[in-house]
């Protein structure tokens, strides 16, 4: 009985050739196409990103490709404070509402021209043209300080890990699972992380001010904070007293008033003319 000989089909030959080139470090051909979404991603942590863990961390200087060309991230943060968020154009969830909220907050603050807003896609299928159309829908195409683009999957991975950002492909929904994250970058380092599904003018102002290197003494934590001593203008940074400070002053004012009442100086009493009494002298 003759031994069976495996036949080398064209598909098998192509697979062997691709594996050999990959092992040899030869990049795939230009027409090979982008990686599958299932082949990229950063695993989700057990807890939301801890800001204290990432502040002052170095940001990788990756190349961003836009419809206008390629630009390194360092060229943008050298122009001024940089705010960065990561999205993908096929998102059926949070990305579009978040970007619209970011644009409204940006317009409400009327930020200076040196502020850089970077919107980067983490989906390997997205192209510079896709991000250009997103800029048009967002009505920021051609606006100074707005950069929407893509980057190499390896660079996206490095940047995401440095910022505490994660994204995982869900094959059932055919969508990426990911958080909403806004990062303030100052001179190549993380200055502030803003985690959450919404952004308003006050919170964006905090990120920009810290990315500019201005110290913020206090700011409200996410959620409704019922008792705080200070507020501040997110544009000018001018602090103002909140009603919590007045509550703290009530005991001191009460003590002062009570002390004045108890120890006030008594007024002078009016004394009438003294009537002469009977004389004790003998007549």
Q: In this predicted model, what pLDDT tens digit does every residue of 37-53 receive, in sequence order?
A: 999 999 988 776 677 78
Q: What is the pLDDT of residue 167?
A: 96
Asked whether 172 and 85 are in contact (CB, 8 A), the reply is no
Mean pLDDT in residue range 27-45: 76
Give the range among 68-82, 147-161, 180-194, 267-281 with minimum mean pLDDT: 267-281
pLDDT > 90: percent of the chain: 56
What does the angle CA 92 – CA 97 – CA 103 come to, to the nearest 5 degrees? 140
> Helix 95-109 vs helix 201-211: angle between axes, to the nearest 10 degrees?
70
Q: What is the pLDDT of residue 272?
A: 53
Which residues sit opposite 66 in a β-bridge? Answer: 69
- What is the distance, to the nearest Å, from the Cα of residue 209 to the centroid of all Cα atoms in its chain? 12
Cβ of 187: how many Cβ atoms within 10 Å? 13
Asked whether 202 and 122 are in contact (CB, 8 A), the reply is no
Q: How confident is the model at residue 245 (pLDDT cuts 50, 70, 90)?
A: low
Give the whole-angstrom CA distance, residue 124 versus residue 150.
Answer: 8
* pLDDT higher than threshold 60 for residue 23: no
Give the range among 91-95, 212-216, 233-237, 277-281 with minimum mean pLDDT: 233-237
Mean pLDDT in residue range 177-191: 95
pLDDT: which is higher, 79 or 247: 79
* pLDDT higher than threshold 90 for residue 220: no
Asked whether 182 and 85 are in contact (CB, 8 A), the reply is yes
Report the predicted TM-score, pTM, of the whole model to 2 decimal places: 0.68
- Ordered by where they begin, the domains of the chain are 37-215 (3.40.30.10), 217-262 (no CATH)
* pLDDT higher than threshold 50 for residue 26: no
Q: What is the pLDDT of residue 50?
A: 73
Q: What is the pLDDT of residue 255?
A: 80
Please list, in sequence order, all residues whose beta carbon lies within 8 angstroms of the beta carbon of residue 48, skipping any fewer than 6 positions away. 179, 195
Q: How confident is the model at residue 19 (pLDDT cuts 50, 70, 90)?
A: very low
Strands (E), 38-186: 63-66, 69-72, 82-87, 116-121, 146-149, 168-170, 175-177, 181-186
Nearest alpha-carbon partner for 213 in 188, 182, 239, 238: 188
pLDDT in tens, 76-134: 999 999 999 999 999 999 999 999 999 999 999 989 989 999 999 999 999 999 999 99
């Amino acid at each position: 009985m003759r031994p069976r000989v495996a036949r080398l089909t064209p598909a098998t030959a192509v697979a062997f050739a691709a594996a050999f080139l990959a092992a040899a470090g030869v990049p795939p051909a230009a027409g090979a196409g982008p990686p599958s979404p299932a082949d990229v991603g950063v695993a989700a942590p057990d807890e939301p990103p801890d800001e204290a863990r990432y502040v002052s961390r170095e940001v990788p200087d990756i190349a961003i490709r836009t419809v206008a060309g390629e630009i390194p991230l360092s060229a943008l943060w050298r122009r001024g404070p940089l705010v960065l968020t990561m999205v993908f154009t096929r998102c059926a969830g949070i990305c579009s509402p978040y970007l619209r909220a970011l644009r409204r907050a940006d317009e409400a603050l009327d930020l200076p021209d040196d502020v850089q807003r970077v919107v980067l896609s983490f989906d390997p299928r997205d192209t510079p043209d896709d991000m250009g159309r997103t800029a048009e829908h967002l009505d920021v195409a051609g606006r100074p300080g707005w950069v929407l683009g893509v980057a190499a999957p390896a660079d996206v991975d490095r940047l995401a890990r440095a910022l505490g950002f994660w994204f995982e492909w869900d094959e059932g929904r055919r969508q990426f699972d990911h958080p909403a994250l806004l990062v303030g970058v100052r001179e190549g380092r993380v200055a502030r992380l803003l985690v959450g599904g919404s952004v308003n003018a006050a919170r964006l102002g905090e990120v920009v001010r810290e990315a500019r290197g201005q110290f913020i003494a206090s700011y409200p934590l996410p959620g409704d904070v019922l008792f705080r001593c200070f507020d501040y203008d997110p544009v000018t940074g001018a602090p103002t007293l909140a009603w919590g400070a007045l509550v703290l002053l009530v005991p001191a004012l009460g003590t002062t008033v009570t002390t004045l009442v108890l120890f006030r100086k008594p007024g002078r009493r009016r004394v009438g003319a003294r009537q002469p009494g009977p004389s004790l002298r003998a007549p």
